[in-house]
Amino acid sequence: MRAAALLPGLLVCALAAAQDYPAKPVRLIVGFPPGGNVDVVGRIVAQKMGEGLGQQVVPENRTGAGSIIANEYVAKSAADGYTLLVVSGAFVTQAATMKKLPYDPLRDFSFISTIVTYPLVFSVRSDSRFRTLGEFIAFVKSNPGKINYPSPGMGTLYHLAGEMFVSMAGIEMQHVPFRGGSEPLTEVLSGRMELLIDALTNSYPQIQAGKFRPLAVSSVERSSALPEVPAVADSVPGYEATSFIGLAGPAGMPAAVVDRLNSEARRILALSDVGRRFAEWGGTPSASSPEEMKRHVGAEIEKWKRVVAARKLELQ
């Protein structure tokens, strides 16, 4: 009875706090170093969201373990809306490939909205013998195991996208993992390896500079950034591998605060200057409801778990 009597008062206090939100600066935690695409998107969102909320939104880089440190920090923060997280594609691949995480990727977060989506691009050097993905697949089929492809590490989106490609195309390629950074790109530019599977956001400058020849994009449809480049699915029916960046906070955030932040995300993504910034490196503004983002995260985790199981990849 006593708890029931207290409940209306607690609800009123929570509603009042949500109506006053934000009453102080908001921290936006980024799990990657300054300068990368996740950081750049985070800073764009922080600036524009601060303008709309009337309070400063401060980007804070907490790097390490491929963003797991940042994810854990936010998952264990107060659920008051003053500590938010920039969620990237690494969030779902880690959940699919790691035996244990210091948080539950679905239960320990309040999802707010996706911000941007972008495909991967399969590229070769501009002077490569391969002009189409079909030619590349045909060569690898007749030379099984002789072509290597690099990635920034085991269990990354690029590694899993490559494993899914190998499986669905019926070919044999050797995966060579590096420790993050730009080494995979350098390996292909140097000619030591022939195929790069990378985010369009990373490869786009090299493509624009004429150093890479894009063979295909990994989205179901062609990318507006590379309208002349076919989809991988044109050569490998059913293939799709895209990435995203979104916004989340700790589990248990007041619904009114989540709704306020979702409205701000939608406002920001409707701005023409934000759309232009994202388009410059192949991204597409992609607002969602909190429920849609949670479903997307869950579906991506399950998708990559199936790839891990099918390819018998060793979990970390």
CATH number for position 148: 3.40.190.10
CB 212 within 8 A of CB 126: yes
CA distances in angstroms from 134 to 23, 44, 123, 215, 232, listed in the order given? 57, 38, 13, 9, 9
How many domains, in total, are found in the chain? 2
The answer on 262 and 113 residing in a single domain is yes
Strands 109-125 and 196-199: antiparallel
pLDDT at 168: 97
The answer on 214 and 160 residing in a single domain is yes
Range of the domain at 81: 2-118+242-310
Strand partners, 198: 121
The answer on 147 and 224 residing in a single domain is yes
Last-in-domain residue among 209, 234, 259:
234
The answer on 22 and 98 residing in a single domain is yes
For residue 316, tell me if it sits in a domain.
no
The answer on 132 and 227 residing in a single domain is yes
pLDDT at 294: 98
The answer on 112 and 9 residing in a single domain is yes
The answer on 230 and 260 residing in a single domain is no
The answer on 295 and 159 residing in a single domain is no
For residue 102, tell me if it sits in a domain.
yes
pLDDT at 172: 95
pLDDT at 15: 55
The answer on 255 and 110 residing in a single domain is yes
The answer on 254 and 179 residing in a single domain is no
Whether omega before 22 lies within 30 degrees of 0, making that bond cis, reads yes
Residues of the chain with pLDDT under 70: 1-18
pLDDT at 171: 96
Last-in-domain residue among 180, 209, 234:
234
pLDDT at 200: 87
The answer on 229 and 248 residing in a single domain is no
For residue 315, tell me if it sits in a domain.
no
- Contacts with 99 (C-beta within 8 Å, 6 or more apart), sequence order: 315, 316
